[in-house]
Amino acid sequence: MDFLRPRTWDEALAFKAERPDATPIQGGTDVMVEINLDKGRPAALLDLTAVPGLDDWTREGGEVRLGAGLTYARLIAELGAELPGLAQASRTVGSPQIRNRGTVAGNLGAASPAGDSHPPLLASGAVVEAASVRGTRTIPIDAFYTGVKRNALAPDELIRAVRVPVAAGPQYFSKIGTRNAMVIAVCSFAVALHPGERRAGTGIGSAAPTPRRAAEAEELLAGGLDWEGRGPLDPGLARRFGELVAGAASPIDDVRGRADYRLHALAVMARRTLGWAWNDYTGRAAA
């Protein structure tokens, strides 16, 4: 196996153009597990950890631009106010050791339907910056996931950054696992209120071949929530929201959970997270 260690971003792009078969490695918390378990051996590793500046984040207007090397630990410590949904999801990833190495870009590269960053990225309307020697393009997050563990990157592209709108309202993430920590989601859900636009974003994890939004559930909230009056949440609306979220999923039975359990759990998580977010928005104490 060849080991490529670029010292600049341009060199990284040149390596990837020359060796599209090279597997990028950032935190290595997915890549090294695959190699150690003998689940395929990459022809080459493209180690991005020596590229300066990749672990930076910047605030640009209404967005935060997360460099591909930014770890969960730093995101949690530094961006909890700007990106509360993503920070909340990041707190549930693995253990402190994994959060000290793992990155959102690595989660996107792996594109597991169970990855914890995906639901809040979908709910927020994030955009992935994909770069190659041919230039940089942006991929809207809901066009990024193309199949089970597959994404929209071309073979010569690398993720340079992820751009996430700064929260304009309350955001929540919820995850069900077989225990409290170090666990792959049985299923997960994120909601983000965008009060200025009178709409809400959603993201479903681990309940379909790819992470996905619940479009009909979002439409229900756009038209059904009392955005102006900030009245209490109608329990019937919350229930219907849960049903529509579950209806947007297409889970399977697997070792972590049954499909019917996932559907039930999604409806409950959707209802609860909406309740928490609406209470924050309206200034009510949580029921």
Q: By the criterion CB under 6 A, which residues form the site for ligand FAD?
A: 23-31, 33, 48, 68, 92-94, 98, 101-103, 105-107, 109-110, 115-116, 158-159, 182
Tell the smallest beta-carbon distance from residue 233 to ligand FAD (Å). 29
Nearer to ligand FAD, 21 or 219 (CB): 21
Contact (CB, 8 A) for 145 and 118: yes
Nearer to ligand FAD, 20 or 28 (CB): 28
**Of 81, 73, 89, which Cα lies nearest the Cα of 273?**
89
User: For residue 143, what are its two tokens?
Assistant: 């066009």
Nearer to ligand FAD, 30 or 218 (CB): 30
Contact (CB, 8 A) for 59 and 79: no
Nearer to ligand FAD, 152 or 222 (CB): 152
Nearer to ligand FAD, 10 or 197 (CB): 10
* Distance (Å) of CA 69 to CA 53, 105, 117, 284: 8, 7, 15, 38
Neighbours of 64 (CB within 10 A): 25
Cα distance between residue 213 and residue 203, in whole Å = 5
Contact (CB, 8 A) for 276 and 286: yes
